[in-house]
Amino acid sequence: MSQAPSRRPATPARPATSKPAGPGRPKDLGKRAAILDAAKRLFSTQGYDGVSMDQIAAEAGVSKLTVYSHFGDKEALFVEAVKAHCEARLPPEMFEAADAAPLREGLLQIVRAFYAMITGPEALGVHRLMCSPQLAESPMPRLFWDAGPRRVQEAVATMLQHHVDSGELDIDDVQRAASQLLCLAKGEAHAQQVFGCGGELDADALDSHLRGTVDMFLRAYAVRSKAP
């Protein structure tokens, strides 16, 4: 999480503390990646409160000072771990490729990648964590939503707007339509996996589910060519 630079004191006295995210020595990107990987594993298996910065540092093979230097605090690290997970599974390049593809194929690319992302072990673990009573009254569910689901939804909405502008889709509210598409893609199978009462769909069943999702979405929003 970036921080605004602090004002220089009027006297030459050294400040009592320095901000870890401020300007200075370049950060080691390899260590940052290792910290994020460790944080994703530990948060998804042990919960937010069950994980300490010491544990994350040990899992990543770095010092605790290095973790704080890169991320500032545990809350900021959690947010960055969620963002990194989403960006790894649904990178901007994927949205660009899907946007350039024919409409139906592009939507299929997105819902396939989205479904794979939300049904991975780490994602299921974090979803269960966000539903736990321990976090119900904390700011963590909102932080998770803004760092992950909301960002994905906004990227989908941007893609849909392009197809609205090209005349292929007729949508009044692209944010709502993006939410509808992603909720359709989740379906019952995702809820069952989060609750631990259902297994993974086989390849044929998953393909049928996601194709049906896109077909339903297009029946609602695709522009029909007028007969001559």
Task: Provide the residue ranges of all domains of the chain, joining segments of one domain with +.
Answer: 29-83, 90-221
**Are residues 135 and 141 in contact, defined by beta-carbon separation less than 8 angstroms?**
yes
In angstroms, the CA 43 to CA 221 distance is: 38
Q: Please determine whether the domains at 29-83 and 90-221 fall in the same fold group of CATH.
A: no
In angstroms, the CA 145 to CA 154 distance is: 12
pLDDT of residue 27: 67
Full pLDDT tens readout for the chain, 228 residues? 444 444 444 444 443 333 444 444 556 889 999 999 999 889 888 878 889 999 999 999 999 999 999 999 998 998 898 888 888 889 999 999 999 999 999 999 999 999 999 998 888 888 888 887 777 778 888 888 888 899 999 999 999 999 999 999 999 999 999 999 999 999 999 989 988 887 789 999 999 999 999 999 999 999 987 544
pLDDT of residue 226: 53
The architecture that CATH gives domain 29-83 is: Orthogonal Bundle (1.10)
Work out the angle at residue 15's Cα, subtended by the Cα atoms of residues 12 and 16, and round it to the nearest 5 degrees. 140
| The CATH homologous superfamily of the domain defined by 90-221 | Tetracycline Repressor, domain 2 (1.10.357.10)
In angstroms, the CA 57 to CA 71 distance is: 12
